[in-house]
Structure formats: C-alpha cells, structure tokens
Structure 1
Amino acid sequence: MSSINFQKVETIAVIITALGKFLFYDILDQRLVFILLMFTFWGSYVFWRIRKSPDVLREWGFRRDNFQIVLKKVLPFGILAILACFIIGFFRDTINPHWHIIPILLAYPIFGTLQQFLLMSLVAGNMQAQKKYSNEVIILTTSALFGLLHYPYGWLIIGTFILSLFYTYIFLKHRNLYVLGIFHGWLGAVFYYTVVNKDPFVEVFGPLFN
C-alpha cells in the first residue's frame, strides 16, 4: 500500500472517529466506551504500522530528541493559557475546585496525546506531506476541525480552536507529539474545572459508580 493510500485510509478513519465522538458522547452518553474503542483501534493501527515501517513513529511525531526545544516554546503559552482560564473562570464564577482534577491531570495527557496524534499527525501531517497546501491552510483546517469536534459547547469550541492554532504551528515546525499531548491534557483539565464548570471524571467514570 502506497503512502498516499495510507493517507486516504487514515483520513477516512479519522472522520469515522470524529463521527463516533458525536454518537457516543452526545447521543448514547457512553464516553468511556468511546475512549476504550479509540485506544483499542488506534493502538492496534499504530502497532501494525510500526511493524511495517518502524520509522513512521518519528514521522508521526513520537520523538524525544527535540523535547526540550518544543517544551521551551510551549511552556510560556501554557502558563498564559492557565492564567487566562482562571481569569475567565473568576469573572464567569465557574471555577470548580475538586479532587477529581488530580486523576484527570494524570490520565488526560494520555488521551490528549491520542487526540493530538489524530489531528496533528494524521490531519496536519498528512496534509503537509501532500505538498498541496500552505501551512496557513493546514493550521486553519486542523484548528477548525478540532473546534467543531467540541460542538455544541461554545467555550470549548473557542478554546480548542485557539489552542490548535498554536499547536499546529508548533507541530509543523518540530513534529513532537509528547509535549503537545501533555499540555493538551493539563490545559484541558484546567479548562474544564475553571471555564466551563464541567467534571470530566464524572462524565467518563460516573456510570461505573452508579
């Protein structure tokens, strides 16, 4: 199978995953099932691709050699984003401190890395590999997709769109998923408990305790 065919199959699979998010999150209210299915399917795919071509990991952005370089660029943005979350939360009176944020801070970076893999590696990365699109088009397309995936929550759409503008720019320059995945998870957790006043721990794991 040629690389362009890989790209087509990956694009279709990402679209199906996005549609699955709306089905399992918004209609069936089965978030944990969706997350487990995502990790099972995409984990299997990554393992299969590695066996076919070990170099694909680096191409996708699973690399550590430039971790510190990317961290230095993302850290100031992350700090400003966290401050903005608390400021917005303060004025909206939506800051919701809860011990649930601790397991979310630990677990969400893993899920965040998977999301970044789908959006950065398989959307932005594949678009860049085709050499038909400018970086500006790639950044806007990826960010718009990421924002729309969080419909119908207005603040989440705005926040993820802005986050993705910066993240896609960084990815196209450095291709490092680890830094982006970690910060995606941490910023997402803070955003949930400050700006949108939602508890993802209850939303995902709540059915297990009912």
Structure 2
Amino acid sequence: MITTDKRRWIEIAAVLATGLLKYVLMDWLNFRALYIAAACIFWSVYIYKRYRQNNFILQEWGFRKNHFKQAFLFLLPFALVMVAGIVWYGIFYNAIFLNWHVIPVFVFYPAWGIIQQFLVVALVAGNLQEIKVVNLSKSGIFLLTSLVFAWVHYPSLPLMVFTFFMELIFLAAYFKWRNLWVLGLYHGWVASLLLFFVLGRDLWNELWTVF
C-alpha cells in the first residue's frame, strides 16, 4: 500500500499536535506521566494499524535490525564525548551521582526515546523527503526537523541547543542506515545522564509529581 502525500501531511500535523500537547499537559498542567503514556499508546496503536495495512511500513520507517551495528558505531563517538562531558561537568559542579532514580530512567527512557525519534526522523524528516511538492534539500530537511525537535524542548535553552545538534547527528545516521532502535537507545541513555547530572532534573520524581 503506497503512502500518499495527503497521509504524510496528516502524519506531520499529528506530530506537531503531539508537540503542542506537551506544552499543555507537561509544562502547564504537569501531567507528565499521563502525557508520556498517552503519546506512547496512541502512536504504538498507529504503528500497529499501519503495519496491518502495509507489512513493509516498519522497514520503511526504520524499525529494523539491518545496519544496527553500523549506526551504533557511527553514533558511539558522539555518545562517548557527551558522557565524558557530563561526567566532567558533574564532578566540577558537585552533582549528586549516587541517586538510584537514574537507574529506572536509564532503563526505561530509551522506549520513550524510540517514540520521539520515530515521530521526528521518520514522520517529519522522512515524510518531508518523500512529499512531492516539498522542494527541500537534505540539509534543509535536517535543519528544519532539528529546529522542530528543539522547539518541543522549550523553554529550556540548554536543552534546546543540545537537542538541535543531537538531532542533526541522528538524522545523518538515520538517512544513511534507517535504524530507529539505535537512535532511541542513544537518545534515552545520553538524555538521562544530561538531565540528571547537568541540568539537575530528577526525571523519576518529575514523572510522578503533580503540581
């Protein structure tokens, strides 16, 4: 089943709507767990329904084992540099490393990272590449998509800057090897450490705290 341009535009609009809901449910109402759970369920159901219509859509999107090693090794230097920088920052500014909350976040955050990367790289960047009336170069798609991803992380300026440049690197890996699993893993692992030890945010407490 061929994906039409109309469906691609609808998918992009749905991703943007998901981003807008983040401001309402997470930033304003502080319903973090509700938002994340609802987004994961909604998009997981959508992925399943599209798969039932088109058995090749998962491969097209990047839910594949092919090229896992190549993409993993390509992004490994980025991850190592980020972790080294995070550890240095944490030691220099006396971050609290012995916090057990980082363990469940480190384990479960990659699942949320996979959903986020699916929305951004597969449904936004991937669709922009395929829509016939869009006349953007690959670098233009990378720039626009990374700006969208940074916008979702407003109002944290450090997080916006980090996610912008991270997504540029992730997009390069995705367009070359089309593997979402690797992006989700690195997203979850690096972001967990960054938020805990650089930005001082306890994601485990944030998830269960309302108001």
Shift of 1:90: 4.0
Distance in 1, matches of 2:19 and 2:109, equals 18
Provide the residue aligned with 1:168 in structure 2.
171
Distance in 2, matches of 1:57 and 1:123, equals 15
Shift of 1:66: 0.8
Provide the residue aligned with 1:151 in structure 2.
154
Provide the residue aligned with 1:45 in structure 2.
46
Change (3 A) 1:94 1:157: farther
Gaps in structure 2 of 5+ consecutive residues: none
Provide the residue aligned with 1:194 in structure 2.
197
CA deviation string 1:43-93 (max 9, x = no partner): 1111110000010001101010110111110111111111122233444x2
Are 1:7 and 1:126, in contact at CA under 8 Å, matched by a contact in 2? Answer: yes
Q: TM-score, normalised by structure 1?
A: 0.94
Are 2:117 and 2:183, in contact at CA under 8 Å, matched by a contact in 1? Answer: yes
Are 1:24 and 1:30, in contact at CA under 8 Å, matched by a contact in 2? Answer: yes
Q: Structure 1 runs of 4+ off > 3 angstroms?
A: 88-91
Match of 2:66, SS? coil
Q: Which amino acid aligns with 2:36?
A: I
Gaps in structure 1 of 5+ consecutive residues: none
Identity %: 34
Are 2:8 and 2:131, in contact at CA under 8 Å, matched by a contact in 1? Answer: no
Are 2:209 and 1:206 aligned? yes
Are 2:91 and 1:95 aligned? no
Tell me the number of residue pairs that the alignment of Structure 1 and Structure 2 aligns. Answer: 207
Provide the residue aligned with 1:105 in structure 2.
106
